[in-house]
Structure 1
Amino acid sequence: MASSASTKLTVKLLIDSKREKVLFAEASKEVVDFLFNLLRLPLSAVIRLLNKYGMVGSLGNLYLSVENLNDTYMQPDIHKDVLLKPRAPVSSQQFSALLPANGDDSANHNVEASFYTCPHHRGHNVTCDNKTACPQCRTAMNKKVTYVGKKVEDVFPNDSGFVKEVVTYMVMDDLVIQPMSTISSISPLNKFNVKEVGALQEKTVELGMTQGVNLLKASLQSKAVLTRVFLKNNAAI
């Protein structure tokens, strides 16, 4: 369950102590919602989150190249924030709080978007940036228009997350997720040829902000994600 005070979840691990490996985790709906929500993060947002914790590979350099590039070289109607600070889809506060605030994005999400059109070609094109040039006449599209209808978050409500709450879910070490059953919980024992039941240990761990970032990073680097994040000897990522 999540604690509203600390924004932490708990996960129960089944560990093969001989191999020092997590076989699988028993996870609640909230944990699965958090893991599924990682798929919605824009790539730039992932890089920004992981830069503080040591980004591997070359994507970090690509990000820095855009960041360091003088605005002179950008198209006049393009702002670098389109690449550097894309807006992630609105997420349930319960599991989005397991990742650090993505720069000043949290402030941006609280601001209601404004829409603009060209004062000379109204209705042809709409933008959120009043400095965008009209494709027809290159005039700044600074004529504010009124948005009607439901807000996006009302049309696509996500307070309930992604999966149903009626079952417990099994999360494998490589993040394969399925509803938990007696048969599904036996399969990993056969898969990893576990013969000594006495070597199996249960361990309940917390999933908070540190573990949330580590899960994101490990998911990009390893197929033994839970082992890497939660076992003491593999905690350093």
Structure 2
Amino acid sequence: MEETNVSLKLLIDTESQKVLFAEADKNFIDFLFHILALPVGTFIALLTKQGMVGSLGNIYESIENLSTNYLRPNVNKETLLKPIVHISGGGTGVPLLMPKVESSSRNLYRCSGSYSHSYVADDSKAKCPSCHSSMSDNLSFVDSPNANTAFSGERGYVKGVVTYMVMDDLVVKPMSTISSMTLLNRFNVKDVGALEEKVVDLGIDEGVKLLKASIRSKSALTDVFLPMLKQEVRQ
């Protein structure tokens, strides 16, 4: 992820105290889509065990507390607690809206006896199924070329020439005037004067709150940003 200015233009119904939808650019959409790429272990590390809903935090804590005597010799608990986040192509250039979680490194090895044996292992103590030599020759991972980067200089997941609409429940659609009017009818907005636009800037705190809201709420934008805006008014 990289440092990027990320903001949202919220359309708020002040009568119902609800965010109807937000207008967002590529940066915010890339961040939202990147959430799906995060392993569960990374979710828990970001939200802390105490902030987890349900029992996933207990599984995480159980692995932390379990003695390595109970693990198979080739199992490293760090690979479960700090899973590798590697997304080919799209994962680069995503805005930095979450704390960095150190991932355990993963190396790949091939047969040291013969390069013609097409086996790969992630443990240098593994034995080649063909010649039983150790799989100890280190391999380097090569990412696939990203067509978007090669031709347009863009990175991330979506194109930057489009403005996007993000619903309160984080449904993402391309923005259009017609869709905006349709939504106002769907929300049964009677008094347009009660609608208010607010631009909010997102940092790491808001990114983590959105991550938590995405797994426990159908009104993520309202839950995250309305309390923040009310607090700014009080100050």
Question: Which runs of structure 2 are paired with 1:101-180 in the superposition (5 Å)?
Answer: 101-102=100-101, 104-105=102-103, 108=105, 114-119=107-112, 123-131=117-125, 133-134=126-127, 136=129, 141-147=134-140, 151-152=142-143, 154=145, 160-180=155-175
TM-score (norm 2): 0.82
Question: Which runs of structure 2 are paired with 1:51-70 in the superposition (5 Å)?
Answer: 51=48, 54-70=51-67
Deviation per residue, 1:9-58 (Å, 9 max, x gap): 11100000011100000000111111011111111111111117722211
Unpaired runs of 5+ in structure 2?
Answer: none
Amino acid paired to 1:125: Y
Aligned partner of 1:92 in structure 2 is 92
Q: What is the distance in 2 between the residues matched to 1:80 and 1:156? A: 36
Amino acid paired to 2:181: I
Q: What is the distance in 2 between the residues matched to 1:203 and 1:234? A: 9
Cα RMSD (Å): 2.9
Question: Which runs of structure 2 are paired with 1:18-97 in the superposition (5 Å)?
Answer: 18-51=15-48, 54-90=51-87, 91-95=91-95, 97=96
Amino acid paired to 1:143: S
Aligned residues: 222
Confirm or deny: 8 A CA contact 2:10 2:198 kept in the other structure. yes
Amino acid paired to 1:223: K
- Say which of 208, 212, 215 aligns to 1:217: 212
Percent identity of paired positions between Structure 1 and Structure 2: 47
Pick closer, same or farther for the CA change 1:135–1:83 going to 2, 3 Å. farther
Pick closer, same or farther for the CA change 1:121–1:81 going to 2, 3 Å. farther
Q: What is the distance in 2 between the residues matched to 1:94 and 1:199? A: 35
TM-score (norm 1): 0.82
CA shift at 1:83, angstroms? 1.5
Unpaired runs of 5+ in structure 1?
Answer: none
Q: What is the distance in 2 between the residues matched to 1:185 and 1:212? A: 25
Aligned partner of 2:5 in structure 1 is 8
